[in-house]
Structure 1
Amino acid sequence: MKNKYVDFISDEHFLNCVANLHNAYLKAKNNITKKNFYSNKVDTIKLTFDARFNEIDEENLIQAEILRQIDKSINNSIGTFHEQILGGIQGFQIGNFSGFDIKANDDTMFAEIKNKHNTMSSGLAEAVFQKLARFADDNKKANCYLVQILAKKSFNNKWEGIINGKEYTHSRVFKISGDKFYALLSGQEDAFLKLYKNLPIVVKDYLNSIEKSDSVKANSAIDELKVETETSKRTILDQITFENYSYYLGFDEL
């Protein structure tokens, strides 16, 4: 039976990958409380500049910051989505915390996947190169790849260069763009384009197949902060600063 969406993974697998990503969206959006919002220290210095320079009132500013935190969480899940899609191609599998993101079943290919080209520090790049080189050394027939799903150009090149002052090169360690990697695993040059063009269809079919739910709760962080400011008489930004940095010299007097 012919697939409805793409021909390099099954329709069932494609739908499952979309379902997993949808669940990640729901989890990220589900009731950002004040405690969740504070889980990473809030940069109220930057928020002060944002409010004044962009002429945004404090409540809208905090709402935008909450949405930014949600978006950051979702970006991590997008990389997982690509891993799961690629792991559904015949002959390949995902790593499941085995030190690689994707590998060939016959150990002739190992890959580390990054969603965007600029998400690695020099320290992380060095660690990834060393890890891929070890996979190549331990598997003499394996080519190993750093995959940049959203790269600045289309390429498949040997990874060589100076990282943190050290020169790195290996005959079977490569950097590759997302389109080239999809083509490599699927055997189809336009596999990434097919994925893109069919995403709206798959998502629509998935959403039509599930029951609509009210499981996503409204974000309560703003309301919690408003209650605090009514008592403290602080501005919202001052309240956030006090609750995050009251242990700094003089900040307990805000």
Structure 2
Amino acid sequence: MNNISNPKNKYVDFVEDEHLLKCVSNLFNSYLEAKKEFTKKKFYSNKVDVFKLIFDSKFNDLTEDDLIKLEMSRQIDKSVNNAIGTFHEEILGGIKGYESGYDIKANDESIFAEIKNKHNTMNSSSAESAFQKLARFADDHRKANCYLVQILAKKSFSKKWEAIINGKEYSHSRVHIVSGDKFYALLSGDPDSFFKLYEALPRAVEDFLKGIDPKTEKENSIIEDISTSAETTKRSILDEIAFENFYYYQGFKNL
């Protein structure tokens, strides 16, 4: 389904500037929420690999603050990946003739799609569930094509989804699996639309951040909390993290 583009847009021609900035805003809020919910207690409950922190600090010449920021980023990675998948869903839903909801659908119900950010985020059970759901939509809408979209796939492709999942063969004439670039092209009518979004995003994000109150981006308090605790106990930050994680292991109470 080809769509009429808007060459007057500042960022990309297949969704309006206002919509793109709204999608960036929603993702920004998801980042803030993930950081806000990530307390020191949760940071420690996930068990920090203090040996990896030692190697990271020495081999990559990282400060102790850098180590905490990297570990925080690693631990909230799943939440962020989910939010980025939602970002793509919202962007695609802004293309004329489409809307987000499940996860993407054409207004004329000719296309339904489920969006996954990465190709490796589904286990066999979730893949089976996704296929069955798409097949039901295809059966309920006789003229619809249904897609599992892998935004970050191993290669560029679009094909009928045929697979053996949990020992069962799955196939449907109108259920497909497709890479992110091919699906963006399908909805926008522009084969380069995914690349154009990549090129435009740095400018869009910079423009969005110009209107944000700096206080909104305040750093998560975990670094301050751990630093204060380390000062009280007269430990280094790395020793403080090691003690809090492994005080019940032999020898760590001596830190």
**TM-score (norm. length: structure 2):** 0.81
Q: For 1:195 and 1:124, how far apart are their aligned partners in 2?
A: 28
Pair 1:219 & 2:220 matched: yes
Pair 1:37 & 2:38 matched: no
- Checking the alignment, whether the CA contact within 8 Å between 1:145 and 1:175 is kept in structure 2 is yes
Gaps of 5+ in 2: 1-5
Q: For 1:109 and 1:154, how far apart are their aligned partners in 2?
A: 20
- Checking the alignment, whether the CA contact within 8 Å between 1:87 and 1:102 is kept in structure 2 is yes
Which among 16, 23, 28 is matched to residue 17 of structure 1? 23
- Checking the alignment, whether the CA contact within 8 Å between 1:102 and 1:111 is kept in structure 2 is yes
Which among 111, 122, 131 is matched to residue 133 of structure 2? 131
Corresponding residue of 1:239: 244
Q: Secondary structure at the match of 2:216?
A: coil
Q: Secondary structure at the match of 2:11?
A: coil
Query: What per-residue deviation string (whole Å, max 9, x for no partner) do you get for residues 82-107 of structure 1?
Result: 00010011111111xxxx21011121
Cα distance change on mapping 1:22 and 1:222 into 2, 3 Å: closer
Alignment of 1:53-132 (within 5 A): 53-54=55-56, 59=64, 61-95=67-101, 100-132=102-134
Cα distance change on mapping 1:53 and 1:18 into 2, 3 Å: closer
Query: What per-residue deviation string (whole Å, max 9, x for no partner) do you get for residues 112-154 of structure 1?
Result: 1011111111111111111111111111111110001111111
Corresponding residue of 2:3: none
Gaps of 5+ in 1: none
Q: For 1:35 and 1:130, how far apart are their aligned partners in 2?
A: 39
What amino acid maps onto 1:204 in structure 2?
E
Q: How far did residue 68 of structure 1 move?
A: 1.5
- Checking the alignment, whether the CA contact within 8 Å between 1:156 and 1:175 is kept in structure 2 is yes
**TM-score (norm. length: structure 1):** 0.81
Q: Secondary structure at the match of 1:171?
A: coil
What amino acid maps onto 1:143 in structure 2?
N
- Checking the alignment, whether the CA contact within 8 Å between 2:226 and 2:240 is kept in structure 1 is no
Cα distance change on mapping 1:54 and 1:21 into 2, 3 Å: closer
Cα distance change on mapping 1:228 and 1:199 into 2, 3 Å: closer
Q: Secondary structure at the match of 1:180?
A: helix
